[in-house]
Amino acid sequence: MARHWRAGAAGLAVLGLTLTACGGAKVGDSSSSGSKSSGKCGTFNLAVNPWVGYEADAAVVAYVAQHNLGCTVNKKDLKEEIAWQGFGTGEVDAVLENWGHDDLKKKYITGQKTAVEAGQTGNKGLIGWYVPPWLAKAHPDITDWKNLNKYASHFKTSESGGKGQLLDGDPSYVTNDAALVKNLKLDFKVVYAGSETALIQAFRKAEKNKEWVLGYFYEPQWFMSEVPLVKVKLPAYKTGCDADAAKVACDYPVYDLDKIVSAKFAKSGSPAYDLVKNFNWTNDDQNTVAKYIAVDKMSPDAAAEKWVEANKDKVDAWVK
């Protein structure tokens, strides 16, 4: 037995040596050596909140930081709450697309003083009630809230208890819908879909099968390029009309989406901070990159590269 085993081991060793001899390129050969990050930028911890528009922002900023400034970019996939929490613990340097979130600003900017504002992204955030395009075409007057009660019975579902259904989405976003329905005396019930996925599926299906859906939605959003939803007009927003959450009876304000950075990062003198501060583009820009990612299924990095190649002048303005 022992002899067998020795012979086997010897055979194996020979086999191993042969394989190693004709093994091919070695790890660490010059061809495969990684990109070196030079200089003063160091690491840049970028939070990536879970929606495609944000991912587009993050992709482009990360691409520029990496290629133009030589930063080592750590993208961290986090929900808003956790990302803001990370300012204090030093785990997150920047949040690139903040939707309002006065509660978080109060807590982390004025309260704990761990975060500071870094200007607007140039994107305008709209929030409101939307219907699928076929419905707006078939019943043009539906886009005025005053006519909603007329159609309420069409919006009935198994969930809405005899009233029309107003479908709300991901709880991350600001919503006054329950108060709005009550104060505008609409014959509707808010049903909580619970996630953006559920909301998008509902609209997609509604447009395809010509179903009646009224739902909470927002732009910029990649899904708008697939199904261009139509916004329902609510009573116009005036400053302060949403001050008391229980008495709101007006539309949502237009949000100027802004950037937030950690207080430490703002003082660090890192070129990445200047990039974040200067970063500014339009809704169309973001939609283009978001479409590359969501519809054309490009990787964020490839999508960013494509956009940066085509928009050199804008990028130059950010890093000058």
Site for other proteins in 86-145 (CB under 8 A): 86, 88-89, 91-92, 103-104, 107, 111-112
The secondary structure of 94-127 as a DSSP string is EEEEE---HHHIIIIIIIS--EEEEEEEEEEEEE
254 contacts 126 by C-beta, under 8 angstroms: yes
CB nearer to other proteins: pick between 99 and 273? 99
Question: Which residue number, 28 or 240, has a Cβ lying nearer to other proteins?
Answer: 28
Is residue 293 a contact point for other proteins (CB under 8 A)?
yes
Stretch in the footprint of other proteins (CB under 8 A) among 74-82, 254-262, 280-288, 306-314: 74-82
Instruction: Measure the CA–CA gap between 179 and 176, rounded to whole angstroms.
Output: 6
Q: How far apart are CA 116 and CA 95, in angstroms?
A: 10
Show contacts with other proteins in window 33-72 (CB under 8 A).
Answer: 33-34, 50-52, 55
Nearer to other proteins, 15 or 317 (CB): 15
Burial 75-87 (b: 16+ CB within 10 A, else e): bbebebeebbbbb
Using CB under 8 A as the binding rule, whether residue 301 contacts other proteins is answered as no
Tell the smallest beta-carbon distance from residue 318 to other proteins (Å): 25
Footprint of other proteins on 253-282 (CB under 8 A): none
Q: CA 271, CA 263: separation in Å to the nearest integer?
A: 15
Residue 28 binds other proteins, judged by CB under 8 A: yes
Give the span between the Cα atoms of 41 and 22, in whole angstroms.
Answer: 42
Considering only 148, 152, 167, 304, the residue that binds other proteins (CB under 8 A) is 167
